[in-house]
Amino acid sequence: MKKIFLIMMASMAIVSCAPKGEKAPALDLSNLDTTVSPKVDFYKYATGGWQVKNPLRPEFSRFGSFDVISETNQKQLNELFESMVDMKAAKGSVDQKISDLYKMALDSTTRNELGAKPIMDDIARIQAVTTKDELWHLLAKMSLEGTGTGFYGSGVEADLANSDMQVLYLGQGGLGMGDRDYYLKEENAALKEGYQQFLVKILNLCGIENAEDIAAKTMEVENNIAEYSWTREQNRNMTAIYNPMSSEQIFAAYPNLGFEIDCEELGIPAQEKIIVEQPSFFENFDKYIAGADLETLKAYALAHLVSGSCGALSDDFYTASWEFFSHQMAGAQEQKPRWKRAMQVPNGLLGEAVGKMYVERYFPESSKKKMLDLVENLRAAWKEHIAALDWMSDSTKVRAQEKLDAFTVKIGYPDKWKDYSTLNIDPELTYYENLKNASAWYMKDNLSKLGKPTDKTEWGMTPQTVNAYYNPTTNEICFPAGILQKPFFDPDADAPVNYGGIGVVIGHEMSHGFDDQGSMFDANGNMANWWTAEDKEKFDAKGEILVKQFDAVEVLPGVHANGRYTLGENIGDHGGLSISYSAMQNALKAHPQGLIDGLTPDQRFYLSYATVWAQNITDQEKARLTNMDPHSLAENRVNVSLRNFQTFFDAFDIKEGDPMFRPEEERVHIW
| % the chain with pLDDT above 70 | 97
Name the least confident of 3-7, 117-121, 162-166, 392-396. Answer: 3-7
Q: Give the closest residue to 332 by CA, choosing from 67, 63, 53.
A: 63
Mean pLDDT of 625-645: 97
Q: Which tens digit of pLDDT belongs to each residue from 147-163?
A: 978 899 999 999 999 99
pLDDT given for residue 150 in this prediction? 85
Cβ atoms of 276 and 250 closer than 8 Å: yes
The answer on pLDDT for 3 being more than 70 is no
Task: Enter the DSSP assignment of 515.
Answer: S
Mean pLDDT of 305-330: 97
Pairing of strands 554-556, 152-159: unpaired
Mean pLDDT of 539-568: 97
Q: Which tens digit of pLDDT belongs to each residue from 493-502?
A: 999 999 999 9
Pairing of strands 244-245, 162-172: unpaired
Higher pLDDT, 13 or 458: 458
The answer on pLDDT for 29 being more than 50 is yes
Distance CA 190, CA 375 (A): 47
Record the pTM: 0.92
The residues, ordered by sequence, that sit 6+ positions from 137 with a Cβ below 8 Å of its Cβ are 261, 265
Q: What single string gives the DSSP state of each residue in 288-313?
A: HHHHS-HHHHHHHHHHHHHHTTGGGS
Q: 11: pLDDT confidence band, cut at 50, 70 and 90? A: very low
Distance CA 610, CA 504 (A): 11
Q: Which tens digit of pLDDT belongs to each residue from 481-494?
A: 999 999 999 999 99
Mean pLDDT of 443-448: 97
The answer on pLDDT for 459 being more than 80 is yes
The answer on pLDDT for 17 being more than 80 is no
Q: Give the closest residue to 248 by CA, choosing from 268, 266, 231, 272.
A: 272
Q: What single string gives the DSSP state of each residue in 439-464?
A: HHHHHHHHHTTTTSB--TT--SS-TT
pLDDT given for residue 14 in this prediction? 26
Higher pLDDT, 86 or 510: 510
3-state secondary structure of 20: coil
Cβ atoms of 168 and 155 closer than 8 Å: yes
pLDDT given for residue 401 in this prediction? 97
pLDDT given for residue 23 in this prediction? 61
Distance CA 299, CA 582 (A): 58
First and final CA of the chain: distance in angstroms? 29
Average predicted confidence (pLDDT) for the chain: 94
Distance CA 470, CA 10 (A): 16
3-state secondary structure of 476: strand
Whether cis (ω within 30° of 0) applies to the bond prior to 496 is no
pLDDT given for residue 554 in this prediction? 97
Integer Rg of the chain from CA:
25
Distance CA 521, CA 428 (A): 49
Distance CA 458, CA 215 (A): 40
Distance CA 483, CA 412 (A): 9
| % the chain with pLDDT above 90 | 94
Pairing of strands 476-480, 408-412: parallel
3-state secondary structure of 412: strand
Distance CA 420, CA 291 (A): 44
Task: Enter the DSSP assignment of 482.
Answer: G
Mean pLDDT of 588-594: 94
Cβ atoms of 352 and 562 closer than 8 Å: no
The answer on pLDDT for 25 being more than 90 is no
Distance CA 116, CA 306 (A): 9
Domains in the chain, please, with CATH?
A: 36-68+364-415+458-666 (3.40.390.10), 116-313 (1.10.1380.10)
